[in-house]
Amino acid sequence: MGAATGAVGLDVDRDVYRVGVDPGSPYADAVEAKPALTAVPAEEATLGSTADLLVREVRTDGGDEPVGVIVRTVDTPKGEAAAASFEEAVEAHNERLMAAEPNGTTAFPVTVTLRYASRGSTFEDGQTLGEISGTDDGSGDGETDDTGSDGGGADGGSSETGTVDGSVSGDGGSGGAGDGGDGDVVSDDGSAGTGGDGGDSDGGGDSDAGGSGDGVDGGNADSDGNDGWWPFGTDDGPGGLAVPSIGGGAFGADLTGSPGSITPPFPFASLVLAFAFLVPMNFLTQAYGSSVLDERTNRRGEPLLVTPLSPTEIVAGKTLPYVAVAVAVTSLIALVVGGGAISVLAVLPIAATFLGATFVGAVFARSFKELTFVTVAVSVLLTSYAFVPAIFTNVTPVALISPLTLVVFDLQNESVSVGEFLFATGPTAATAALCFGLGLGVYREEDLFTQKPVTRKFLDALAVRLSAVGEGVRESTPTGIAARLPGRVRGLVAVAFLTACTIPFVFVAELLAVAVLFALPVTVSIPVLLVVIAFVEEVAKSVHLYAGFERGVFARTDRVALAVGSASGLGFFLAEKATAVVQAVGLTELYVGRAAFGSVAGLTGLPPLVLAGLFLAPLALHGVTASLSAVGARRNRTFYVLALAAATLLHAAYNFGVVSVHG
């Protein structure tokens, strides 16, 4: 439709409203500049018939200069719309006139320069998961000596608020402590700023209903009660749903200008270029998946399995050419768009995950029809996972869950710390490795060349990694480390290890949940998130137990169920704690790092016994819930589903309790 209208020169937005205006009036220029408006000579215009709106300037008797203007519209919705459009036209006209003014100081007495920095970590009512208090309230290190309680964090003011002219800095806020920026002020007259003076609410942001003292924080600094440059969830007031804004105008992220013209940053150019890195992946997965499935359906791969090569070597040999292509294409794209080594290194885990997920799909799929579904699903999900968070690269640290965010940083010539790099790429790389590991579990004759349903192959892939537990079950030949362990221990260690291996999947799934939910108000997103996280973790702890019972690796007794459930809970607990290693690389300095890995903040000063209890409480939780699921799994699928639901609810209740206690 758009192409068609464009081709015939139609513009549905043109000349919608007729405005009666004197051709000599300055308002005529504003009307002319607005495509939706068409000017009609005021003398000939009749309201309601030949005009939707009339503009008449009021002059004193004999005077040439107008002293005012009267705008009349018909009392209809169209009349109201015409008035609104006319108002926009006049405002835009004024902006243009001021922009054309050679004396900028006269036109724009207030200039704001933005400087973005990291933000704090705590939530406030009405905020979204991506919105952090104490940062955009402008409080903190303003030079004024406010003593009121503005609720701001100590370091907030120095964050994104940047520079403001002292004359407009800060707004009152509920505690009257809205202070200015950090004194990094650039005023148009060249004088240094003086920092904010709390309570003065002219110009920039003013007090909002939330009560936190808003400084003119460099962002929108708008006059509609919204605070800060953070664009999310405030238009509807606290608790309302809001689609994250990614900036106005032509995706501009002006760093200098009048408060009204400044928009949030949106790395449009970098993002488009970063997307170019993802496009080849979709073709790569098609070729790779077809190749793997072709060997299966035509049994061309069977002779390879008879050679001395291990399945890992065969798959590596099959995959490496595609990895090489990915590296070459990524490097070429980086060369073209101006990316560096960071871009290439960041895209590789994405490529590996594309290939890993496709490999699993191709090993599980029974036909090219199923493979098509798999590759499309992989492409959509991974492209979304990589691309959507990257949109918010300059807005929120949540963006760092995607390696593509690093590419955007790289294209913007921004530095990336080791911690950020590991945080963004680690889960993706681990997920890729686990995808290949899962597929390799069934990379054997009995599964590759049979037409088992995907679910059965999935269970096979899990069960093959387990060892027998209980009496009367078959013990397959143990290999590797498992061969060195006593029989009874071997099975439980295998369970714990397999559970631990799911941590990257869990981590990525939970981050994805955070990314999906963070635009929602906290009152909605937190409960949903806690339940989702509980479900993800319970599935991770129990699905292989179900596979073990279904495939006869575990004896179907409650005793065995409790044993493997406890082992699974222990494995999950240890793996979860092992992620604390990220603190060593500073990931918890990131907001999402803290959200993902937890924090021990606030626990200091507690008695050792209490600390030990708090430390071990998750172990008890994971053990109990995994055992519950295992007891259901040892009976049949229906019981497993019911037990899993119960375990999820129990886990979610625990999560709610922890959140409530910690606030």
Binding site for another protein (CB under 8 A): 298-300, 302-310, 444-446, 474, 476-477
**Shortest separation between residue 481's beta carbon and another protein, angstroms:** 18
**Token pair 């290939």: residue:** 355
Could you tell me which of 223, 217, 222, 227 has the C-alpha nearest to residue 196?
217
**Shortest separation between residue 299's beta carbon and another protein, angstroms:** 5
Single-letter amino acid code for the residue at 588:
T
Given its phi and psi angles, is residue 430 left (phi above 0), alpha (psi -120 to 50 degrees) or beta?
alpha
**Shortest separation between residue 633's beta carbon and another protein, angstroms:** 18
SS3 172: coil
Alpha-carbon distance of 340 to 333, in angstroms, equals 10
SS3 112: strand
**Token pair 């699905």: residue:** 543
Is 415 or 477 the residue whose CB approaches another protein more closely?
477
Neighbours of 317 (CB within 10 A): 11
Is 49 or 307 the residue whose CB approaches another protein more closely?
307
Alpha-carbon distance of 475 to 492, in angstroms, equals 13
Chain mean position to CA 284: 25
Spatial strand order of the sheet with 66-73 comes to 37-41, 17-21, 53-59, 66-73
Is 46 or 312 the residue whose CB approaches another protein more closely?
312
**Token pair 């339940």: residue:** 531
Is 100 or 306 the residue whose CB approaches another protein more closely?
306
Could you tell me which of 135, 152, 163 has the C-alpha nearest to residue 228?
135
**Shortest separation between residue 252's beta carbon and another protein, angstroms:** 52
Is 298 or 599 the residue whose CB approaches another protein more closely?
298
**Shortest separation between residue 551's beta carbon and another protein, angstroms:** 9
Is 476 or 636 the residue whose CB approaches another protein more closely?
476
Q: Are 180 and 196 in contact (CB under 8 A)?
A: yes
**Shortest separation between residue 306's beta carbon and another protein, angstroms:** 4
Is 15 or 302 the residue whose CB approaches another protein more closely?
302
Alpha-carbon distance of 229 to 220, in angstroms, equals 5
Residue 54 DSSP symbol: E
**Shortest separation between residue 411's beta carbon and another protein, angstroms:** 39
Alpha-carbon distance of 70 to 86, in angstroms, equals 13
Is 96 or 299 the residue whose CB approaches another protein more closely?
299
Q: Are 469 and 548 in contact (CB under 8 A)?
A: yes
Is 59 or 300 the residue whose CB approaches another protein more closely?
300
Is 38 or 297 the residue whose CB approaches another protein more closely?
297
Chain mean position to CA 309: 42
**Shortest separation between residue 318's beta carbon and another protein, angstroms:** 12
Is 94 or 310 the residue whose CB approaches another protein more closely?
310
Q: Are 240 and 226 in contact (CB under 8 A)?
A: no
The packing angle between helices 268-297 and 341-364, to 10°, is 30
Is 50 or 310 the residue whose CB approaches another protein more closely?
310
**Shortest separation between residue 310's beta carbon and another protein, angstroms:** 7
Q: What HEC string does 551-562 produce?
A: CCCECCCHHHHH
Whole-number CA gyration radius for the chain:
31
**Shortest separation between residue 309's beta carbon and another protein, angstroms:** 6
**Shortest separation between residue 304's beta carbon and another protein, angstroms:** 7
Q: Are 113 and 162 in contact (CB under 8 A)?
A: yes
**In Å, how far are 366, 470, 477, 480 from 487, measured between CA atoms?**
35, 10, 11, 14
Is 205 or 289 the residue whose CB approaches another protein more closely?
289
**Shortest separation between residue 308's beta carbon and another protein, angstroms:** 5
**Shortest separation between residue 483's beta carbon and another protein, angstroms:** 12
Give the contacts of 406 (CB within 8 A, at least 6 positions apart).
342, 343, 346, 400, 416, 420, 421, 424, 425
